Structure 1
Amino acid sequence: MPLTSAIAAVGTHLPPRIRTTEETERRLREGNPGVELPVGLIRRMTGVDRVHEREEGEQASDLAVLAARQAIEASPEPVDLLIFSSASQDLIEPATAHIVSAKLGLGVPVFDVKNACNSVLNAVQVAHGLIVSGQARRVLVASGETPTSAVRWQVADRHQFVRSFPGYTMSDAGAALILEASDVSAERGIVDLAFSAASHHWSIGTLPMGGSMRPRDPDATYFDIDGRALQRAFMALGPELVTGLLERNGIALADLDLVLMHQVAEPHLGPIADRLGLGVEMILPTVAQHGNLASATLPVQLRQALDRGLVGEGSLVLLVGLAGGISLGAAAVRL
């Protein structure tokens, strides 16, 4: 029978340590007395109430392992490939996938997939392709995001604060998916995927540290993002990628049980959803209570939707990824 890949398990880890937006603003005001920072601005502009912070000394691999153990416990059959997929990493070399594999005690091939906040969705794309082509049977996709390490707490002026602004709403998190081979006749699995990029926008948002451009510049260890330009770039993408995926598979919006979409800020959610041809009422909101979870966003939303009974076996879900660079991705999945 022709093969597809199906999601066998979802694991997530949200660090219990919380930093509220009020705490963020208080820390910024106390640490930067010479810079005027309006009270309540971050909450008004982003809708984010709080973010998750990992414990001191906890690495991206640790967060990925905590989520992966949940997924493995739920679906304990052996995996034959591990893909670490995250904007974050423990080291430049070796691949963080090796560290995750060692901590889990696995003895399988590994590699990293990295594409900002679309890292997990792109890893699903790769895993799906390997399964359909017969090169893998069960793939563990694991993500550990640690963006709070790149938050700039000392700002020289208002301009630097604005360029650092999106970092104040980013959360640490772990996420994992197990994808396994499934007969197409089983009517479960990935229906289709689609991806696009507008790479001329790459400089809108950067975290330069450790790269060849600025390998040892201490100032390069912080986010530098033009939030408004990023929103404009996403709005310019158009709906064709999402609507095309749905149309070629005969899927109407009414057929979808839920839409999971990467979320940067609450006010952006509606306009971007409308621009992509989706209704905001179809989307599970998470950014207010959990912040920007980077590439862990979609697995966290899926886990929450399953736990809350919003979706279940047989549900048709659309995953939409938005990432710096910039990239757009979509996947229709039958659970």
Structure 2
Amino acid sequence: MTIRAVVTGVGHYLPDRVVPNAEFEATLDTSDEWIRERTGIERRHFAAPGQTTSDMATRAARAALAMAGREPSKVDAIVLATSTPDLTFPSAATMVQRALGMTGGFAFDLQAVCAGFVYALTTANALIVAGQARRVLVIGAETFSKILDWTDRTTCVLFGDGAGAVLLEWQESDGTAARGVLATDLHSDGTFKDLLYVDGGISTGTQGVLRMEGKEVFRHAVGKLAQTAESALERAGLTGEDVDWIVPHQANLRIIKATAQKMGVPMDRVVVTVQDHGNTSAASIPLALSVGVERGQIKRGDLVVMEAIGGGLAWGSVVVRW
């Protein structure tokens, strides 16, 4: 028998405030048409004053637990992917642990920017397969609205806030059409640090704001996303023809379309939410997963490929049988 980490619950949370593209027209040299044409984004959600990453992560976690029919006391670990934690320390994951009323287990944050969720899912899968945990909450949550330069029309219109979560559980499998995580593939290359970063932190004594070389990030994204997805599928003994759904990082509709085309997967097998959420960084894939399930797109037994790229550069993919 083989041990698999199986998704048993998924959930998401979005802040109440919805910001349409037109709202930026009053302060920036931009328009709804300009943003839609270049990104596919129509609106995004921004956190309320005082609303934190851990607040949103907790709400998404509760939704995932409710779907799975599990109490927080049954969870062994929380892995929270975020680049916008509430504080420098302690981790936002421990704040979620407290909010859920978990008195046991362990919790930690993981930072790989927009690739954070695939890194976190890979880590959680390894914990389960190694026997370190039987149930792990994997969360992606961000409040990117707090690190944006509101005078830079090339970046501030791209991002939004939100959270998504999945519950991974230990299950035995006989290997026949096995559910759960089938393969993962992770990469990073620090030589590309200056393409996407925040210009503040401990070393500067400032919070800083997001900086991005958009054209260069786009150029790297398409090739690297297709490559990592194909590598993970190969490890699972599968090809693009076997894929039921691609759930990509929701950064830019043009990147999503170009990656799907490169993989030979039609767009009617791609879950797209970027128009409604913008780029929510580590939250974008679990948000899209939850919405895909909610829409009735992703069903039990479907083969799902998740892929993402973010600052670092860091990129990777996960193949899951739902």
Q: Structure 2 length as normaliser, TM-score?
A: 0.91
Q: Distance in 2 between matches of 1:327 and 1:274?
A: 22
Number of equivalences? 315
2:62 alignment partner in structure 1? 69
2:181 alignment partner in structure 1? 190
- Deviation digits for residues 55-89 of structure 1 (CA, Å, limit 9, x no counterpart): 22100000001111111222214101112211210
Residue 46 of structure 2 corresponds to residue 49 of structure 1: no
Q: Distance in 2 between matches of 1:264 and 1:317?
A: 18
- Alignment match of 1:223 (pick from 185, 202, 210): 210
Assess, with a 3 A threshold, how the Cα gap between structure 1 residues 256 and 235 changes in structure 2: closer, same or farther.
closer
Q: Distance in 1 between matches of 2:160 and 2:311?
A: 16
- Alignment match of 2:233 (pick from 246, 251, 259): 246
Residue 78 of structure 2 corresponds to residue 89 of structure 1: no
Counterpart amino acid of 2:255?
H
Q: Quick one: percent identity of the two aligned structures?
A: 28
2:17 alignment partner in structure 1? 17
- Deviation digits for residues 185-237 of structure 1 (CA, Å, limit 9, x no counterpart): 2721111111122321111111133232x223xxx522111111111222453
Q: Distance in 2 between matches of 1:134 and 1:71?
A: 22
Counterpart amino acid of 1:72?
L
Q: Is the 8 A contact 1:18 1:50 kept in 2?
A: yes
SS at match of 1:168: coil
1:33 alignment partner in structure 2? none
Q: Structure 1 length as normaliser, TM-score?
A: 0.88
Q: Is the 8 A contact 1:19 1:51 kept in 2?
A: yes
Q: Distance in 1 between matches of 2:307 and 2:214?
A: 19
Higher-Rg member (1/2) = 1
1:140 alignment partner in structure 2? 137
Residue 5 of structure 2 corresponds to residue 5 of structure 1: yes
2:309 alignment partner in structure 1? 322
Q: Which runs of 5+ in 2 are unaligned?
A: none
Q: Distance in 2 between matches of 1:215 and 1:135?
A: 38
Q: Is the 8 A contact 1:243 1:277 kept in 2?
A: no
Please list, as runs of the form range in 1=range in 2, the aligned pairs for 1:159-174 lying within 5 A after superposition.
Answer: 161=152, 165-174=154-163
Residue 111 of structure 2 corresponds to residue 111 of structure 1: no
Q: Is the 8 A contact 2:77 2:136 kept in 1?
A: yes
Q: Distance in 2 between matches of 1:317 and 1:234?
A: 19
2:193 alignment partner in structure 1? 202
Q: Is the 8 A contact 2:40 2:252 kept in 1?
A: yes
Q: Which runs of 5+ in 1 are unaligned?
A: 30-36, 156-160
SS at match of 2:19: strand
2:277 alignment partner in structure 1? 290
- Deviation digits for residues 157-179 of structure 1 (CA, Å, limit 9, x no counterpart): xxxx35xx223221100111111
How large is the Cα RMSD of the aligned pairs? Answer: 1.9
